[in-house]
Chains A and B, each alone.
Chain A
């Protein structure tokens, strides 16, 4: 079977399967979950049983149901954040590379200033000033994260801008937008896609740390990172509770990266390189 004209490798299929399952779970959370997201149905850290397949959490909510609803929140927030941050970061990064010294200097120095402030503290300040709704959370994270994307996009594009096909486009009189979109973007995709996989994982770990500090996803909504933090103490009692959300995070990360690896391998395949090269 082929996907977008390419045949996925076996590891790519595994990654695709993991992602598909998680996304289906996230979409149909209401149907699948045995209990509701916020209701206490048992004791603190009950062992797994037929009633609670993965046991209960620190305040007696069903672990499996929380994981299922958590998928929605975690993947949703991280995905939207990452997509948004790539939209902002790639556009500005390309613009800095293509648009000339003045634009580059202005954008790069703004980004330098933002990068010089620790990410977590920056996020804390903004979220405590504007309050932590899902919307502000996503916007804040996206803007902060886009500074990292900007760096990469600018670096990649700087190498492409000097290529003669870009010069040819300039000589033709093409505008900046066309050069960014048609000449630079298709050639910058491979590194950008791999970065997307990485930043997606970082983002959802970052949401977790914010949740721990009380500024991330607010209770009663479940998110995997928050669940690891909430149930962390159980480890010292020899209970597996925090391992379930941690496992979910790990699987999602691995799944995304397997697919990213495959996409990269398509792009790095030699095309028309002669044996004499």
Chain B
């Protein structure tokens, strides 16, 4: 096969994908991909990014179908091929790397068997050849102990390693085109940077073309040559990466860029005259079995202030929240509310104590009972804590809905009919219904799109200004911390390694880990990744 550099290997023309219900998911999208080129697809969820990614393999998810346009791989229209022909192209010529590697591997098989399955079943390689190639890929992807890595099962490797194994699986047939669907979104920032660098190297070394799907402009900026901005299944803007970042033409792109840049600025000064702390954890330790998730941590939140807890997954942030609310009884130390020591276990806390500390979850989908109406969900705390009459409850629900910026007639709907951002607003309304002093927010925006997340943050801030509620804000996103937190605590392996006013935490002298975290957040420059890697050696 000749590897001509200027050859167009993937060409989509006027692509159109419809749901069976008739809704148009992708409309009139065209793109061309040359060998060695990476095209970034940017947009919020529902923008049709993944649908385009899959459609370039002539695949549509259940309930959708490709209804128009051409999909050409090296000049051959794959849509005209029969099922067998399409199946042969998939994996061999064009391969897909999904967001959640954990969900894409079968936990019952060893990694090597899954990585070598495709070339063997397509009859491209013998088992020995496939394994030798897999080993080469494992080495290229910098996996630990590449010789024995394939003998492991999915649960024996970390998330970042699994994502790299997934890249090896996609590469197993030596495809020409890779479709990368948010490959680093589920990873911590420090891991993301490694995976990103390796993927970039892989694409360059093997001279492939790639579609890189992401919601994060800064991430795409590191790997993509060109960027396509999508909204509601339509192209908004296509251009060189530098142009999109620096001089976006369309309003929507401008909003995306501006929103991403806002995250870099420090917004909140520390409150100088702190009120007496309302919720305090003093020297608390929490264990699961014999594992110490939280080790001798002290933290305090006062009314009207936001205290951020940052750390990577597994650092004990959420466990700390569970300790404070009593879901996880503390084995050392104590939790105080308004200066009074609370019983360690939830069961022994009284109703008024419970009312004063509310929790907002990361996944609004599972935090709202899908069989209750919004009115029931928000009304229950009102009825439960304040013993109001049904009419009063109804009035209060309407008031709360207005407060979180939703129409009053939502009270009669089920939560399943709402979008992610609206659901999170309902969760906030439910927390406010209890008229709490402190709300513990456990990654409330990480399941949401950037612009939606931004709205939720603004709402939280505005509610703090009007109601004076205090937030303990758990997040892995340093951008959010900069924007909303008066004080910040950095967690690593169950301990708080740095705590203080946000400005101090984000200014030298850094704790080495804080510095690593900070330098791992992708910046809106195309050469950021190379710089960081060069600096780290």
Contact = CB atoms under 8 A, between A and B. Distances in A.
B388 to A, nearest CB: 15
Contacts of B366: 163-165
A271 B368 CA distance: 14
A164 B318 CA distance: 13
B51 interface: yes
A276 B380 CA distance: 33
B478 to A, nearest CB: 25
Contacts of A163: 366
Contacts of A168: 359, 361, 367, 430
Contacts of B64: 275
A233 B430 CA distance: 67
A274 interface: yes
Contacts of A272: 416-418
Contacts, number: 67
A206 B111 CA distance: 50
B346 A276 contact: no
Nearest to A277: B61
Contact of A164 (B346, B351, B361, B414): B361
Interface string A18-36: 0000000000000000000
Given A168-B359, A271-B417, A187 B51 contact: no
Nearest to B44: A276
Interface residues of B, number: 40
B192 interface: no
B46 interface: yes
Given A276-B45, A276-B50, A172 B361 contact: no
Interface residues of A, number: 19
Interface of A is mostly: helix
A179 to B, nearest CB: 10
B325 A171 contact: yes
A172 B434 contact: yes
B158 interface: no
Interface string A165-194: 101101111100000001100110000000
Contacts of A274: 45-46
Interface in A228-277: 271-272, 274-276
A82 B209 CA distance: 62
B346 A170 contact: yes
Nearest to A182: B372
Which of A168, A182, A276 is the most central at the interface, judged by chain B CB atoms within 10 Å of its CB? Answer: A168
B360 to A, nearest CB: 9
B371 A271 contact: no
B289 interface: no
A276 B51 contact: yes
A275 B19 contact: yes
Contacts of B414: 271
A168 B417 CA distance: 20
Contacts of B5: none
Contacts of B63: 275
A171 B74 CA distance: 58
Contact of A187 (B350, B358, B371, B384): B371
A171 B48 CA distance: 38
B188 to A, nearest CB: 22
Contacts of A173: 349-351, 354-355, 384
B304 interface: no
Interface string B97-122: 00000000000000000000000000
28 contacts: A164-B363, A164-B367, A165-B367, A165-B368, A168-B361, A170-B346, A171-B325, A171-B327, A171-B346, A171-B354, A172-B354, A172-B381, A172-B385, A172-B434, A173-B350, A173-B354, A173-B355, A183-B369, A186-B369, A186-B371, A272-B417, A274-B46, A275-B19, A275-B23, A275-B46, A275-B51, A275-B63, A275-B64
4 shortest interchain CB distances as A-B pairs: A186-B371, A164-B367, A165-B369, A271-B416
Interface of A: 163-165, 167-168, 170-174, 182-183, 186-187, 271-272, 274-276
